[in-house]
Amino acid sequence: MADAVTPNDAIAAIRATGGAQPGYRALHAKGTLYRGTFTATAEAASLSRAAHLSGEPVETLVRFSNGSGNPRQRDGLPHVRGMALKFSLPDGSTTDVSAQTARVFTSSTPEGFVELLNALRPSISTPIRLTKYLAGHRGLFKSVRANGAVTRIPASYATLEYHALHAFRWVDASGGARFVRYHLVPEAGEQFLALRDGLRRDADFLTDELNERLRDQPVRFQYRVQIAGPDDSTVDPSQPWQSTQTVTAGHLDITGLDTAREHGDDIVVFDPMRVTDGIEPSDDPVLRFRTRAYSESVKLRTGVERGAEAPQL
């Protein structure tokens, strides 16, 4: 088994691939904040007692992003895209969801992810390194197939499905519990561009397109939860789930740009470990590592420690 990596190792490996640029998020560097309202269904309330699942509409902060660590990455290139949510709860606290267009993660551990980043480091020996890596990780071919959306150029941030990948334990009012995975499904359906058309688009076309779309009407996503079956792993985000039991837990209506946040010393971090009563993180090692890696990224992009803002592990 590989030695345990530190958050610094992860940031160094991300930097070597062109990410972790000072002043920007280490990954998903280019993104835009939006405002919206989330309204849960009655079914959600029966699965978890979490405050935002009661059915009362809650304000939600949303960030769409290009997965690259390069803040000037062209939108018209195939890549992972991100959708992160921050629900405002009645007691003044928040709870987050962090999702991306890949259906499964590339690795079951932080070590595996850092190993992949190291193999991808651009240099004259990259093809040899990558070939060696792929020969030792045949499972990755399966995940490339499952992650088809990542190899394509979307027509819009509003025409992509996003997946939160980790399992969370939803606990209901009587203490009953089940593990679930989250999926954000666009009401507009999934739509992609032909590669040639995508490559011709402006560098920021995904943000421009979404802003234009929002001038006419809100953009709606369904928030679906997939309930784990007996053979579905709750600790390995690189494994797809077999369960077909999916529940629509609510609807998110994105109404426009957020202009209030991330000015001056305001710091926004979407951290999947920021759960609330009624939702518990699983023992997935990638999920638990993310808070520590995100804290390093925050230090790099803002110059300050996260302190009490970070979920307590």
CA 66, 69, 70, 71 dihedral sign is positive
Residues at the contact surface with ligand HEM, assessed by CB under 6 A:
10, 25-28, 31, 63, 65, 82, 84, 98-100, 105, 110, 113, 164-165, 237, 269-270, 286, 289-290, 293-294, 297-298, 301
- For ligand HEM, the closer CB: 105 or 170: 105
Min dist CB 110 to ligand HEM, Å, is 4
Q: Report the alpha-carbon distance of residue 173 to residue 281 in Å, rounded.
A: 18
Residue 142, C-beta contacts closer than 8 angstroms, at least 6 positions apart: none
- For ligand HEM, the closer CB: 12 or 195: 12
Q: Which of 28, 52, 79, 163 is catalytic?
A: 28
Min dist CB 102 to ligand HEM, Å, is 7
- For ligand HEM, the closer CB: 26 or 219: 26
Closest-approach residue to ligand HEM (CB): 82
- For ligand HEM, the closer CB: 45 or 110: 110
Min dist CB 300 to ligand HEM, Å, is 8
Residue 166 appears among annotated catalytic residues:
no
Min dist CB 252 to ligand HEM, Å, is 15
Pairing state of beta strands 279-281 and 246-257? unpaired
Give catalytic residue positions. 28
